[in-house]
Amino acid sequence: MSMSMTVLEHKHFDWWATQPCSRPGLPELLHRLLARERVVNRLWLPTADPTRYRSYDGIVSAGAGSVRVPAGLSYWEAGVTENPLAKANSDYQARLAKDGGAKQKDSTFVFVTPRLWPGAEAWAQERRAEGVWKDVWVIEQSALYQWIEEHPRIALWFKATQLGWETAQHEWMEPKRNWQPRALHRDRPVLGWLGWKARLTPLIGRDREFTDLKTWALGEPGAAFRLLTGVGGAGKTRLALELAEEVATQHPGWAAGVVPADQPLPLDVGSQGCLLIIDYPEENRDAVEQRLREFAEFPDDGIIRRLLLLTRKDADYWQPVINRAGAESCEDRAYELSDRLRADDGWALFTAAMARTRDLLGVETVPAVARDEFDVWLSRVEANHRPLLVVAAAIEAVQTPDRPILSLSAAEIIAALAQREITRLSRLSTAHGFAEDGLPRLAALAVVRGGLDAAVLERLAEPSVKLGLERTGTGDLIDRLGRTGCLTHGHLDAPVPDIVGSALLMLVLEKRADRAPDWLWAVLADNPAAGLARLERITDDVSMVLGWGKRGLSGWLAAMVDGAPERALPLIAPVSDAQLPQGLVPMAITVWRTLLSQDDIPLGKRAEWQNNLSVHLSDMGETAAALTAIREAVEIRRALAQEHPARYRPDLARCLNNYSNRLDGVGETAAALTAIREAVGLYRALAQEHPARYRPDLASSLNNYSNLLDGVGETAAALTAIREAVEIRRALAQEHPARYRPDLARCLNNYSNLLDGVGETAAALTAIREAVGLYRALAQEHPARYRPDLASSLNNYSTCLYGVGETAAALTAIREAVGLYRALAQEHPARYRPDLAGSLANLCLRLEGSDDVAGALAAIEEALALIESAATAYPNSQAGQWQKRMQQIRAHLLGKPSP
């Protein structure tokens, strides 16, 4: 039967009832319809073949007010058989025989069929007359049709999944929770046991975070979204999907799960509420902006709607996207997931993973690991605290019982798991007629792309690519690959989790570093932007977790585009981001140099590319080359601005800002001042003509101007410039507080420092007090983003208070700063321990001023302990300088000569 029509008709139910899919489909349909009824407060209706359950097909408890669902308790039976009368009688008598009338007196019996049954109401009347049940209902084809038509999303589901209409299949989408319990089999790749979908262990060590997010998800009606941020391997996706599982299964009328970023959000998916999750949103930032826009514009109908973005990026990265989408009013504070498990939780996770792995592998014993051994391993490096690394260590310990696994670093454990997968794929590859490295190379390239579909697989198999997939065997390529067991519906999934995939990529490509650049381009060529977004994650894992930053990936990516303008051109947009991860910057530099090597480039483009080249050269510390590039950009833009001032003055102003920074970086302060002074003049004129557009730029350039003026001792002029910047940012913050309050707070911090430097202590105190107030409010709304700024401003506030003799208040402020930094350092030690040490040194000085010498000594000793490791590794760094200063303070307190 053709299903090309889009209007649902009764005959479609006739056809569907004859199909095998209707048997499990009918209970699924009923579950969806009942979950939509607001009066339903309890629902038990298995969404599979109901013959597995020797009981009613469904049990429902509901309040009054629905024409579709009986009030009170009701027992449901359903069937698709051709004779609905016989089925209804059979079910009715079976329930009487089983229950003996015990449940019927206060309950309603409901029978459902998708068949047309003209005698349905007469049959129900006869059953009611028997007086056994409180009431008897029949929902046959006509009533079922009307019920479905009342819910367009359920009608769309029915057309897409039950009738198989192509048009509906393109439109249908709902949240998914794709757990994969089948991955936990002995004959499945061990690597898959580490993925969040496998659920190797219960969720351990995230009780507080789970409760916090659940309270938010099930909170007040209305729309709200938030970021769930954290490093790779911290368990963001597992936590979010466990939350979705509980919300969807424990709360009738709720829908929850992952949705794609590039399709409209199904905001009507749950009658009571929905929790929608977008994973890796940074891979599709433009699409996420559109999703946030539609989320903010959806009419408020009193239903709870929540959107959770799982990202490695912080709130600063996302704020411009949120602002452009106009979604600030829906934004709740970002939730930062700590990458540090508590020691007890880490041990519980490790032992649970070992026990489960032992069972899956069928081994009788596991290596004896003492708790103190584990604690030493856990504290050895920060990455070991991540849940993923703990589970990886447990799996590898069981697989290699003769190896002291806890003597290995996190990188070595991950590399061992990746190498084990490479070995498995190599065996499969030769067994199925491919070159030994064929399947490992495909798996490595799948990491870059996030998986390979049939079209890409065919392209990579071309002899010119030289992957080792040449058609030496018989049969179609996809069929041959399918026989290896590596494909899912013709698609090769990327190895998971990401960190192990990154290691596999490196290990495979290192074997043929000469071919790596071309292989990378082969998989990136048709969608380089999406591929580079994934490469951001990969380079982060390679550098931060594996410690392989100096190995080949950055070089391969640069070589990929070197001298190839046809490859560099599609990469312009992805690498124009000034905040590229360090591992991608060499490629960005090569992109700009390759493009600039061409003849007949339009001057506007040449200036833009030289400006971008300068930024990225500066990121790599190539200051002289960065200065040369920006100087040429300024010259070009100055000439263009003279010919076409309306079009090119803004570009010249931006370029001069960068030029000033580059000049200052090489010590050419006078020239830097000249450049930033010209930029300020241009922005001042532009802001007079177009204030809404250019006042923020004027304030930023004034702030930079003030810093340079202060650096050359022109304090009065520096104060004038920063005062004007504060006035502009105060006005902007009044007009658009969500967007500009942080800028105002930062500006006030700088203003306070300048005022304090010229002895205007009272005015400095007023400015820093306002900055603290702003940061305190911001930190309450977005703690993950603004707690560090609040702590820093409290440090400055304490100094100002102490300077005017408010000793007690100064001590209170610095203690609060220490408390904030202590909490931050517990969550992210590598990042915040130096800041904690600095604030402890300030606390020491405040305590000494209060004659608490013992407290001062305790503070400086703790500060020295924190800074020692960094100072030892880098004696000439800021940490080394801080250590010397702290040692001098300690010697002073002890009455000893300075070291």
For residues 23-42, one letter each, b for 16 or more C-beta atoms within 10 angstroms of the residue's C-beta and e for the rest, the string is: bebbbbbbbbbbbbbebbee
Dihedral of CA atoms 35, 37, 43, 49 in degrees, nearest 10, equals -50
Residue 764 class from Cβ within 10 Å (0-12 exposed, 13-18 middle, 19+ buried)? buried
**Spatial separation of the C-alpha atoms in residues 760 and 544, rounded to whole Å:** 44
Q: What's the pLDDT score for residue 536?
A: 83
Q: What's the pLDDT score for residue 100?
A: 58
Residue 404 class from Cβ within 10 Å (0-12 exposed, 13-18 middle, 19+ buried)? exposed
Q: What's the pLDDT score for residue 684?
A: 96
- At 110-152, the pLDDT tens digits run 999 999 999 999 999 999 999 999 999 999 999 999 999 998 8
**Spatial separation of the C-alpha atoms in residues 877 and 883, rounded to whole Å:** 10
Strands 72-78 vs 58-62: parallel, antiparallel or unpaired: antiparallel
Q: Quick one: three-class SS letters along 697-747?
A: HHHHHHHHHHHHHHHCCCHHHHHHHHHHHHHHHHHHHHHCHHHHHHHHHHH
**Considering only CA atoms, which of 333, 315, 208 is closest in space to residue 783?**
333
Residue with tokens 């000034």: 578
Q: What's the pLDDT score for residue 642?
A: 95
Neighbours of 412 (CB within 10 A): 13
- Whole-model pTM: value is 0.75
Radius of gyration for the alpha carbons in the chain, expressed in angstroms and rounded: 33
Dihedral of CA atoms 455, 459, 461, 462 in degrees, nearest 10, equals 150
**Spatial separation of the C-alpha atoms in residues 386 and 339, rounded to whole Å:** 5
457 close to 442: Cβ distance less than 8 angstroms:
yes
What residues in the chain have per-residue pLDDT under 50?
1-5, 49-53, 873-874, 876-877, 898
Length of the chain, in residues: 899
Q: Which two tokens stand for residue 729?
A: 């940012």
Is the dihedral angle over the CA atoms 663, 668, 669, 675 positive or is it negative? negative
Distances in whole angstroms, Cα of residue 526 to Cα of each of 116, 214, 407, 475, 493: 52, 40, 43, 27, 18
**Spatial separation of the C-alpha atoms in residues 677 and 660, rounded to whole Å:** 9
Longest Cα–Cα distance of the chain, Å, equals 105
- At 59-87, the pLDDT tens digits run 999 999 899 999 999 999 999 999 999 99
661 close to 711: Cβ distance less than 8 angstroms:
no
Distances in whole angstroms, Cα of residue 707 to Cα of each of 700, 723, 751, 756: 11, 12, 10, 14
